[in-house]
Amino acid sequence: MKPILIHTHFHKRKTGVTRSIENVLSFFSDEFETYVYGSNISGNHLSTKKLKSILFSDAKAVVHCHRNNEIMRMLFYRFLGAKFTLVATRHAETKPSGLTLYLLKKADKIITLIKSMSENLGIKNTIVGHGVRVDDFKPDASKKLENIPQENIILNAGRVRKAKGQLVLLEAAKVLKNHKNWTLVIVGQVDKPEFKEELKQLAQQHKIENQVYFIDETRAIISYYQAAKIVVAPSFTEGFSLVTAEAMSCECSVIATKNVGVHSDLISNNKNGYLFEAGNSTELEKLLSKSIKGEIPHLGKEARQEILKNWSAQNEAEGLMEVYKS
């Protein structure tokens, strides 16, 4: 009988964490009977009744949690006598709160995503970076976006908030004023409507309001990567930055902030993408201008090769499997 693997997901929205879980689930089926428990996630769902029947049985089970509320629920079951291996992933790079640290210490195994996150945690953990479903996130030069007349697209994807650097991007995007067939498309959940208004005002100030589009968060993100020529990740902080890896897998030329999340691990500057200092809109503007004019090479093919070699979902699943089996 196969051991059982359960990934929990207690969140009202599908997020990057959701996608990171969904990316690897299919790779475990040969070794584990695999389930998800919670909501807003795709997979083989468990009911609470079925979950309890597993945890309070002699079945060999691994439960992998990703948020504090999930760990709390599983620890409650353990307090009642449930027997299982508890694995927890820390998804944030910042130093954890006292509560988070307390909960993580209760897990049997802790996973972090990048070196800085591992070091900031201050307790024993194993680094397993996220991976990309490379057979899905692949280039398609024929892809076009509806209702966007410009032929050439610069994309920014992810949460729309100050920490993600969209103000820096809008400041640098004034270069579009001289390139009417280029546009900036920002796709993602807006945290605060007033911040979106601030971005729109900046676009108007630079007279590029007709070249900047805001798109709500979508699960059909692959088509946006495929339609884009350049993807910019201008964030000041990241847990990992799956967006950057996905864009590279789709052969986008990626411009990202150095030493933020996994950017500097994914990107070798001028070889498979471009790096700039977080907050430096002048440096970003120069990179955008040179890329638009063709003065620096489009490094999409080199970017995809990096993902295929080192950052596929299969690579991630193999790393997780080692943790589960240990």
Helix (H, G, I), strand (E, B) or coil at 183: strand
In this structure, the number of other CB atoms found within 10 A of the CB of residue 258 comes to 14
Q: Is the pLDDT of residue 49 over 90?
A: yes
pLDDT class of 93 with cuts at 50, 70, 90: confident
Which residue has 């709500």 as its token pair? Answer: 216
Q: Is the pLDDT of residue 139 over 90?
A: yes
Distance of alpha carbon 136 from its chain centroid, rounded? 15
Token duo for residue 5: 């693997």
Amino acid at 203: A
Alpha helices, DSSP H only, in the chain? 16-25, 48-55, 68-79, 98-105, 115-121, 166-172, 193-205, 221-227, 242-249, 263-266, 281-293, 300-310, 313-325
Global pTM value: 0.90
State the average pLDDT for the chain: 96
Instruction: Tell me the average pLDDT across 42-59.
Output: 97
Which H or E run includes 184? strand 182-187
Q: Is the pLDDT of residue 50 over 90?
A: yes
Which H or E run includes 38? strand 33-38
CA-based nearest residue to 102, from 62, 64, 68, 125? 68
Enumerate the domain spans of the chain: 4-131+312-325, 152-310
What's the CATH fold of domain 4-131+312-325?
Rossmann fold (3.40.50)
Domains 4-131+312-325 and 152-310 equal at CATH topology level: yes
Q: Is it true that domain 152-310 has CATH number 3.40.50.2000?
A: yes
Report the pLDDT value the prediction gives residue 200, as an integer from 0 to 100: 97
